[in-house]
Structure 1
Amino acid sequence: MAEGSADLMDADDYTNVINGIRYPPHVKKENLEALAEFDIRNDDIVLVTFPKAGSNWILEIVNKILVTSGKIDASSSDDMIAMGKLEFQYSHEPRPRHVMLQECASPRVILTHLSSDTAPPGISHPQNKAKIIVVMRNPKDTAVSYFHFEQKRRSMDGRKPLPSWDEYSQLFLAGKHTYGCFFDHVLGWWQKRDDPHFLFLKYEDMKKDLPSAVKTVAEFLQVKMDDASIRSIAHACTFSNMKGTLDNSRFYDRAVLARKGRVGDWKTMFTDEQSKFFDQKFKTKLEGTGLHFDFE
């Protein structure tokens, strides 16, 4: 660990540390504890990602599938994101999002970055007909995307910048940035892969063949779609088209989300030594689990 980097993060009062995990300020201990009683409905659709691993992409796809199929009224993904992450409570609102979600009409689309051992039992161990879509992205591109996103957010909020990329990459690797260890997060959810309530998608596979991913999601949601509709949704959800949607979002944190959306962009930031450290961590944490990623 680069000298001083841990201290810099520890001194950042813009985060909360709960049970050893660092969270954004919108995540409060009392709300995480209350989520143990969060009621999951039969027709809920839950989208699970580690931050910067494709949450807004899968949200856009699910939104367009539901609108096209008539399962929900015409709306934008902004309307869906208005509820925010399941675990959030914004400072300007008196009620947390998990309470507000209880008043939403079905089918609800619920977003979360929580790990499998922190998410509500109805999501991590579903007993009804709820559907959970988990999107995963390779850790190197995730770290680079997260770094740039955080720098933009901090600049907009008037906060001090993150440490250097070298220091940040070490914090990410050690699980000392928000939402904890990437590897523990993905592995916790990956252990649910044989449960029919879950669909697992890889960011890199979606980049390779988006129409196939759209079709897979529609089938998982038990929505019948013709090929023309699938192609139309895939076209609308390409990075270039989605970037316009996000750039014009009414929510400022969505407006800084889209950057490059590339697989392999990590090569523009990583040194050989940093890449080696990530490879070693990947091997230590995930070797033998059957979980693999494409890195270019």
Structure 2
Amino acid sequence: MEKSRKAFADFVDNAIATANSMRPDELMFSYKGILYPASICSPETFKALESFEARSDDVILAGYLKSGTNWLSQILTDLIAISQKKTLGEESSGNAEEEFPYLEVGDPGKYERMINLPSPRFMVTHLRPENLPTSIFKNKAKILLLIRNPKDVATSFYHFSNGLATLPSYETWDAFFTDFVSKKVAWGCYFEYLSEWNKYVDKENIMTITYEELKEDRALGVKNIAAFFGIPLTEEELQLVVERSSFQSMKKNSEKTHGAFGDILFRKGAVSDWKNIFSEDQNEKMDKVFEEHIAGTKLGKKLKYDVYCKA
């Protein structure tokens, strides 16, 4: 684990150094109509990703930026370690030491190197399903789909953008909000992301979980995730995973696990932080966009918008 954590921190440090040498207008590029950060992604990598061959026992976490993927990565990495009878905190991660876990992030050669990784390979992605390799669905790799209420996603995304050099920064929340609802942020429109993934939610190899339900009962969430991936847990193992995945525990260890990136990554981990920043007009605008794109769908209902996104 120490080597994989160091690889993570080194990758982020290099990406930040690269971004710091770029002009603001160079930070993002467009691929198939969606913006991505140029310091960590490239058109060549996306092209190479198309022919990536997934395995049926791959463990895949899918979630939009700032939905809680780092939180779920901690849980899944621990569950994989338990399935391999390894001691938590000392194990190497399921995706091996030398590869950054985000599927679309890195150099084009990473997919050739991943052929040699032992199973189960663990990978994370912010991509929409139509931009993932077809082999993931053909081979029925299991996917944990993580979703979060859109107002908190936007709020967290705004603070994240201003803290991380690889993304454009914003002088005001109003400027960011305008870009967020008009599809001008990295990884594209969150509502379109939800709409596309909604077409896949009934597949037996996909499980959907919300950030909010995991906040409400982490133990139950971990238990359900373990059952979905076929990983038996003792009560003691369950409690250990729950303890290690608390926000306090992850923030405390963030410098070791994520380097300087940790402070930016683990900001609040709260539900309903959007109430501190949204104006009445912005609330109405996002409510309208939600109604147009995702309300009435299975994912829309699962988000409990009326509970978490109404002022």
- 2:97 corresponds to 1:89: no
1:195-214 matched pairs, under 5 angstroms: 195-214=203-222
User: Which residue of 65, 75, 90 corresponds with 2:91?
Assistant: 75
Change over 3 Å in CA distance of 1:283–1:168 after alignment to 2: same
Structure 2, unaligned runs of 5 or more: 1-22
Q: Distance in 2 between matches of 1:102 and 1:111?
A: 16
User: Which residue of 117, 124, 130 corresponds with 1:104?
Assistant: 117
Match of 1:20 in 2: 33
Change over 3 Å in CA distance of 1:59–1:250 after alignment to 2: closer
Match of 2:43 in 1: 29
Give RMSD over aligned pairs.
2.3
Change over 3 Å in CA distance of 1:160–1:179 after alignment to 2: closer
Match of 2:156 in 1: 145
- 2:275 corresponds to 1:259: no
Q: Distance in 2 between matches of 1:160 and 1:212?
A: 37
- 2:178 corresponds to 1:170: yes
Q: SS of 1:85's equivalent?
A: coil
Amino acid at match of 2:183: G
Match of 1:181 in 2: 189
- C-alpha contact (below 8 Å) 1:61/1:214 kept by paired residues: yes
Q: CA deviation at 1:120?
A: 0.8
Q: Distance in 2 between matches of 1:68 and 1:183?
A: 35
TM-score normalised according to structure 1 size = 0.86
User: Which residue of 269, 278, 287 corresponds with 1:270?
Assistant: 278
Q: CA deviation at 1:131?
A: 0.8
Change over 3 Å in CA distance of 1:32–1:264 after alignment to 2: same
- C-alpha contact (below 8 Å) 2:62/2:124 kept by paired residues: yes
- C-alpha distance after superposition, 1:26-85 (max 9, x if no partner): 221222122221100121001111001011111100111121232667426696695241
User: Which residue of 96, 119, 123 corresponds with 2:132?
Assistant: 119
- 2:241 corresponds to 1:225: no
Structure 1, unaligned runs of 5 or more: 1-9
- C-alpha contact (below 8 Å) 1:89/1:97 kept by paired residues: yes
Q: Distance in 1 between matches of 2:156 and 2:98?
A: 20
Amino acid at match of 2:102: K
Match of 1:49 in 2: 63
Q: Distance in 2 between matches of 1:72 and 1:32?
A: 34
Q: Distance in 2 between matches of 1:244 and 1:79?
A: 24
- C-alpha contact (below 8 Å) 1:48/1:135 kept by paired residues: yes
- C-alpha contact (below 8 Å) 1:247/1:258 kept by paired residues: no
Q: Distance in 2 between matches of 1:185 and 1:129?
A: 20
- C-alpha distance after superposition, 1:229-248 (max 9, x if no partner): 21221121111111122233
TM-score normalised according to structure 2 size = 0.82
Q: Distance in 2 between matches of 1:284 and 1:176?
A: 18
- C-alpha contact (below 8 Å) 1:246/1:258 kept by paired residues: yes
Q: Distance in 2 between matches of 1:267 and 1:104?
A: 44
- C-alpha distance after superposition, 1:237-284 (max 9, x if no partner): 111111122233244434520000011001111111111111110001
More helix by share: 2
Identity of aligned residues (%): 29
Q: May I ask how many residue pairs the two structures share in their alignment?
A: 278
Amino acid at match of 2:238: I
Q: Distance in 2 between matches of 1:54 and 1:229?
A: 22
- 2:143 corresponds to 1:132: yes
Q: Distance in 2 between matches of 1:249 and 1:233?
A: 16
